[in-house]
Amino acid sequence: MDRVDRPPSRRAFLDVTGATVAAGLVASGCSWDSAEPRRPAPSAAAVPTRVPATGRHQAGVTSPRSAQRNLLAVVADLATAASPGPLLDELGETILALTAGSDPRLLGLSPGDLTVTVGVGPRLVRTAGASLPGAVDLPRFSRERIAPRERGGDLLIQICADDALLLPTAAAALLDQAGDRVRERWRQSGRRGTDVPVAEGRTAPRNLLGFIDGIVGPHTDAEQERDLWLAGPPAVAGGTLAVLRRMELALTRFAALTVAEQEAVFGRRRDSGVPLSGGTVASGPELGAKTPDGRYLVPVDAHVRRANPTAVGVGHMLRRSYSTDEPAPGLLFISFQNELRTFTATLTRMDTSDALLPFTTTTAGATFLILPGFDRQHPLGSTLFR
């Protein structure tokens, strides 16, 4: 039964909290993630490249190309009397000031590669149009233990940066700008693990379960136009749909399996990431490949088989997921796609017999329309809320 939490106070809502996070990216599934290009190792002299906040798409989805190491996601509700248009306009102006380093609420910190990505939940989307992408709530699935306050929400603020100090500072500035017009539901910090090579010019992180994660996804511009970005209607063109799921992982129980049993759960070799059907780490699994005695090389319940986009009949998801250690070791799963069905059909198929799911419990979940890109002439959210 879901527990009912008391809503946070205004003081708690504006509280700036540090982010204590686990190293390594936890995967709900190898085939759900998008590999990232190799990024240089950090050094004391390294200065992160600033990421433009304006453009056709919001930053923080495909830019920067290699996801920053730290993330803070804040999910909130809009007050009944508040209008989304003016609020989003002000948040957009604050984002421009924060990423330019001109907002005094940064307290002297350099913005570095800070990105802020804003999405609106189904309830707000429906006020603009019941048939718009993003107007449908995320359905319930098995293996969920989600408190009412941690299901759904009107507003997503995703903050990413290599410098972990920027996350709570930027969040406090944005929430201060929003004031009493929003009420926080939940927040989650996370950190990505170190990337390892998987192909020419591409890397992927190893996750807390020991496997390389981030091998399959929409990598090229053409694939992203097909599977990631919304082409229309005009009010949402250039946006995308996000799914957030916070999961706890049964690390001790998974570690009790033999290496061969762990590899059967994923369908890949733990040390190299190569599919059990052979090839290279970048190879797609050959789902029809069998042993001489007729057994599938990739087990029928292996994650790479159950979540395979071709087998499901959907497009690829772009994933920027982060590992967590509070409230428990796990994963903040974040996927971006231009159809919610890409996620729901995949998880529905996984729900029936995916060997990885019994090691996960989902404790928070929501979906959001990530608004199209913006600039000073075209304020954030202005295409949807005039």
Who contacts 229 (Cβ-Cβ below 8 Å, separation ≥6)?
Answer: 57, 238, 239, 240, 338
**Between 352 and 18, the higher pLDDT residue:** 352
Residue 156 covered by a domain: yes
Per-residue pLDDT, averaged over 356-377, amounts to 97
Q: Is 139 within a domain?
A: yes
The pLDDT of residue 311 is 92
pLDDT band at 40 (very low <50, low <70, confident <90, very high): low
For the segment 273-302, the average pLDDT, to the nearest whole number, is 94
pLDDT of residue 87: 98
pLDDT digits (tens, 9 = 90+) for 234-262: 999 999 999 999 999 999 999 999 999 99
Q: Where do the H-state alpha helices sit in 188-316?
A: 221-227, 251-255, 259-266, 303-306, 309-312
Sign of CA dihedral 373, 376, 381, 386: negative
Residue 64 counted as domain residue: yes
- When pLDDT is cut at 50, 70 and 90, the band that residue 23 belongs to is very low
Q: Which domain holds residue 278?
A: 21-36+53-370
The answer on pLDDT for 277 being more than 70 is yes
Please report whether residue 231 resides in a domain.
yes
pLDDT at 206: 83
In a domain, 380, yes or no: no
The pLDDT of residue 216: 82
Q: Which amino acid is at 330?
A: G
Question: Is residue 359 in some structural domain?
Answer: yes
Domain count, the chain: 1
pLDDT of 377 above 80 = yes
Q: CA–CA distance from 176 to each of 24, 87, 116, 195, 336 (Å)?
A: 31, 12, 15, 35, 28
pLDDT at residue 96 tops 50? yes
Strands (E), 80-235: 115-120, 155-161, 182-191, 195-199, 202-205
pLDDT for the residue numbered 133: 98
pLDDT of residue 208: 85
| pLDDT of 146 over the 60 cut | yes
Average pLDDT over residues 35-63: 77
| Per-residue pLDDT, 219 | 83
pLDDT of res. 13: 40
Q: Does residue 378 lie within any of the structural domains?
A: no
pLDDT of residue 215: 81
pLDDT (mean) for 48-76: 95
In a domain, 383, yes or no: no
Mean pLDDT of 145-159: 98
Q: pLDDT at residue 286 above 80?
A: yes
Residue with tokens 């453009």: 55
Residue 259 confidence (pLDDT): 98
